[in-house]
């Protein structure tokens, strides 16, 4: 996942270049997308399907001369779902509330998945990698 939202692009530039002092998100929450999430829109799954955003935590980033990446250090489980859902993407936000907050990163799943009632979707440890190089 290397796609950075418009919000986070500005925050990174402001922080790195001293133009402003953005507030760091207290936590990151993973959300699922039914379409292709973009830097401006998440395409989030509708509420009422058994879906809620999940807290996502990350290990420290690797050195820039190495991989320049950070990966999730705990698995997260979405579901069980109460209705059929076609899931193609994932995004990170700064709030747990659906359709709210600031999107941070977004990307497509390696393999899209269709869930049916009773299914869950698990993002395993190390399965989500953020790269900034």
The pTM assigned to this predicted structure is 0.88
Q: What is the pLDDT of residues 33-63, one digit of tens each?
A: 998 887 777 889 987 788 999 999 998 887 7
Cis peptide before 127 (omega within 30 of 0): no
For residues 99-124, one letter each, b for 16 or more C-beta atoms within 10 angstroms of the residue's C-beta and e for the rest, the string is: eebebbbbbebeeeeebeeebebebe
Q: Give alpha helix (H) positions in the chain.
A: 6-17
pLDDT over threshold 80, residue 16: yes
Q: What's the mean per-residue pLDDT of the chain? A: 89
Average pLDDT over residues 67-95: 92
Q: What is the pLDDT of residues 17-34, one digit of tens each?
A: 998 999 889 999 999 999
**Spatial strand order in the sheet of 103-115:** 3-4, 103-115, 85-93, 28-33, 54-56
**Separation of alpha carbons 59 and 76, rounded Å:** 14
Task: Give the start-to-end residue ranges of the domains of the chain.
Answer: 3-131
pLDDT over threshold 70, residue 1: no
> What is the predicted pLDDT for the residue at 131?
85
Give the position of tokens 């076609």: 86
Asked if residues 75 and 124 have their Cβ atoms less than 8 Å apart, the reply is: yes
Asked if residues 56 and 28 have their Cβ atoms less than 8 Å apart, the reply is: yes
Chain-centre distance of CA 122, in angstroms?
13
Measured CA angle at 12 (ends 54, 3), to 5 deg:
55
């Amino acid at each position: 996942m290397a796609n950075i939202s418009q919000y986070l692009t500005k925050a990174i530039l402001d922080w790195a270049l001293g133009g402003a002092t953005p507030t760091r998100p207290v936590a990151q929450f993973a959300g699922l997308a039914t379409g292709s999430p973009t830097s401006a829109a998440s395409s989030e799954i509708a509420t009422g399907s058994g879906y809620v955003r999940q807290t996502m935590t990350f290990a420290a980033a690797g050195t820039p001369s190495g991989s320049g990446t950070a990966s999730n250090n705990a698995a997260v489980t979405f579901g069980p779902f109460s209705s059929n859902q076609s899931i193609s993407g994932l995004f990170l936000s700064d709030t747990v509330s659906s359709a709210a907050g600031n999107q941070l990163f977004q990307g497509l799943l390696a393999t899209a998945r269709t869930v049916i009632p009773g299914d869950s979707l698990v993002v395993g440890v190390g399965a989500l990698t953020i790269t900034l190089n």
